[in-house]
A = this chain, B = another copy of it.
């Protein structure tokens, strides 16, 4: 039986990443000692600097080599497993990426948690596990789950490992299916890509697909708030929640708003096609009825989240 105290240290994998470091900040703010494990492949050490003196520690290690970090779980009461390859398109180019950094890394985290008797595991899953759903907004109980990217496959595989560990070994698990999470710390994704392209060539913005892909967006700080809210208010053996907002923004709108923020002179060129790339999901809108029933909803819409993030991304160049 799990023996760790419920207010013991918290382990965060990927804690130097775009979402992870915001979570670590929130936990430290609440007085929890936090042990970050991150290989810094996409996370940035600087993101944690200010927190390292305030109760957070960083172990630079790869999850696929558990002997290098397993000791971090000793006495911990929670593991928040956020580490993953953050770039969906990379998985299509090299299918081994998500198998290793997704599925196998999750397995290593679960095995270590089981051996260290850590009772609660939180996992950052994704709306892409739904594949190309026929129902919008898409509720948690939607099926069949036929993901269309290697990244999505690794998220569903990881979810399944978590539920099996819960049933077989008694762990309490939290599965968060994220909408698109955006914020100033992001290092990938459509807004980041648009900003980077316009920095390289202010005259022209190439957009993958026909621009009609439409998705919902949630700010990083809202995502962290929602995760912690569910952690505090749900305690089933398996807790599965969509995290998102109730509106969508099209890729065409994203492109136009980003171009406007860059001065409005760039010509937008669409490559065409329903999907931006093989594995892309053209439409995403999650039902957040379950999250709302628990008592939480986002205070900003997708549209507002996009506008704020564009301002921050573009503002960085000043």
Contact = CB atoms under 8 A, between A and B. Distances in A.
A236 to B, nearest CB: 11
Interface in A105-148: 107, 110-111, 114, 129, 131, 140-148
Copies in the assembly, this chain = 2
Contacts of A235: none
A107 B100 CA distance: 11
A152 B160 contact: yes
Nearest to A167: B148
Q: Name the residue among A154, A160, A167 with the largest chain B CB count within 10 angstroms.
A: A160
Contact of A157 (B114, B142, B157, B169): B157
A240 interface: yes
A225 B145 CA distance: 26
A164 B147 contact: yes
B168 A131 contact: no
A189 interface: no
Interface in A234-266: 238, 240
B131 A279 contact: no
A245 to B, nearest CB: 21
For chain A, which range describes its interface: under 10, 10 to 19, 20 to 34, or 35 or more residues?
Answer: 35 or more
Given A153-B161, A278-B168, A143 B146 contact: no
Q: Name the residue among A99, A111, A114 with the largest chain B CB count within 10 angstroms.
A: A99
A92 B153 CA distance: 22
A73 to B, nearest CB: 16
Contacts of A149: 164, 167-168
A162 to B, nearest CB: 8
A95 B160 CA distance: 13
A156 interface: yes
Interface of A: 92, 95-96, 99, 103-104, 107, 110-111, 114, 129, 131, 140-150, 152-154, 156-157, 159-161, 163-165, 167-169, 238, 240, 278-279
17 contacts: A95-B107, A99-B161, A131-B167, A141-B144, A142-B144, A146-B159, A149-B167, A149-B168, A150-B161, A152-B164, A154-B160, A156-B156, A156-B157, A156-B160, A157-B157, A168-B279, A169-B278
